[in-house]
Amino acid sequence: MNRDLDGGFDKPGAQAPRRSPRVSIAAMVKLRRRGHHNFTVQVFDFSREGCKLEFLERPQLDETVWVKFEGLELLESTVCWVENNLAGIEFARPIHAAVFERLVGTLR
């Protein structure tokens, strides 16, 4: 079973506990895939450990991607689940709590 964007286990119906709460947002971020140019995607369900993104092209499970939130460095991430054009990614390192709170405030 694949881990989802918040460190629980994936997809609807899964009941594993999450490492931190999700915040529902709808914002645009920059995304880079290996061998591709940066492009803008929509982000949803954001947590310190990851988020859900709307991809233009379906990514591969376990693919490494880099996401860029305004004001932060690139966050190396791994695709944890894919469903149609949506995918959950897990950041290689969780975002610091204070930075996360500030970022949520600017994205809302």
3-state secondary structure 39-93: EEEEEECECCCEEEEECCCCCCCCCEEEEECCCCCCEEEEEEEEECCEEEEEECC
Q: What is the pLDDT of residue 18?
A: 61
Domain 27-107, architecture per CATH? Beta Barrel (2.40)
Average pLDDT across each block of 10 residues of the chain; the chain has 108 residues. List them in order: 42 54 90 90 94 92 95 95 95 96 89
Instruction: State the pTM of this model.
Output: 0.80
Q: What is the pLDDT of residue 17?
A: 57
Q: What is the pLDDT of residue 57?
A: 87
Q: What is the pLDDT of residue 35?
A: 86
Domain ranges of the chain: 27-107
